[in-house]
Amino acid sequence: MAVVELKNVSKSYQLGETRVDALRGITLDVHSGEFTSIIGTSGSGKSTLLNIIGCLDKADGGLVKITGQDVSKLDEESESSLRNEKIGFIFQSFNLIPVLNIFENVELPLFVKNKLAVPERRERVDRVIESVGLGKFKHHRPDQLSGGQRQRVAIARALVTNPSLILADEPTANLDSKSAHMILDLMADLNRNQNVTFLFCSHDEKLIGRVGRVVRIQDGMIAE
């Protein structure tokens, strides 16, 4: 099944007198269970593309379908439930809440729609924290962890809603190369063993070809 279907997607920004064409006709499919890496230099349009796929931003033109739904046809409520329930996000800067411990950070997305009973919710949070290897750190706060460990927490937080797709925007850019490779190995492992679908982007050529399919983006276009 195609989790992401993009046809001729475009996006421009107006900066004073100048127009920046950030995306110039992107056509791309991502299927369930795939690990896709988008590689391109800084400014090539990676974040713009991921933000549109994650319904954090809107395309100017073209078709954007996520889990089969044309996002331009969704009302606000359906769009936010798509974003909250079907998509997980991992960012370069981790974006953890400093005053919450690891367990509470990971639990947070489950409060958006409180469907789970308390024991079930706790069991789910424990399970994803174990799956990223941080069982011993549940009661620590983010500032007590290394960068690599913080990014593992962010991965657990992205996984906890059991999303159809995880978007990872340069998740390794703030890490030393050993931690960066460990994070990539963890995502590859989750992809292989739990069938988690990842769309990962990076400017770092050294991270390419380790897992899955590679798509190159240049000046807002897919470069084959």
Name the residues that contact ligand ADP, by CB under 6 A.
13, 15, 20, 22, 40, 42-48
- Closest residue to Mg ion using C-beta atoms: 47
Strand 2-15 relative to strand 18-31, pairing: antiparallel
Find which of Mg ion, ligand ADP, none residue 193 binds, CB within 5 to 8 Å per kind.
none
CB nearer to Mg ion: pick between 46 and 157: 46
CB nearer to ligand ADP: pick between 12 and 101: 12
The nearest distance, CB 174 to Mg ion, in angstroms, is: 13
CB nearer to ligand ADP: pick between 20 and 99: 20
Find which of Mg ion, ligand ADP, none residue 15 binds, CB within 5 to 8 Å per kind.
ligand ADP
The nearest distance, CB 125 to ligand ADP, in angstroms, is: 31
User: Does 37 engage in binding with Mg ion (CB under 5 A)?
Assistant: no
CB nearer to Mg ion: pick between 24 and 140: 24
User: Does 47 engage in binding with Mg ion (CB under 5 A)?
Assistant: yes
Q: What is the chain's alpha carbon radius of gyration, rounded to the nearest angstrom?
A: 17
The nearest distance, CB 201 to ligand ADP, in angstroms, is: 7
- Number of residues lying near Mg ion (CB under 5 A): 2
| 3-state DSSP of the chain | CEEEEEEEEEEEEEECCEEEEEEEEEEEEEECCCEEEEECCCCCCHHHHHHHHCCCCCCCEEEEEECCEEHHHCCHHHHHHHHHHHEEEEECCCCCCCCCCHHHHHHHHHHCCCCCCHHHHHHHHHHHHHHCCCHHHCCCCHHHCCHHHHHHHHHHHHHCCCCCEEEEECCCCCCCHHHHHHHHHHHHHHHHHHCCCEEEEECCHHHCCCCCEEEEEECCEEEC
The nearest distance, CB 186 to ligand ADP, in angstroms, is: 22
Nearest to 65 by CA among 29, 119, 94: 29
CB nearer to ligand ADP: pick between 15 and 118: 15
Considering only 43-51, 81-89, 124-132, 151-159, which stretch makes contact with Mg ion by CB under 5 A?
Answer: 43-51
Interacting residue ranges for Mg ion, rule: CB under 5 A: 46-47
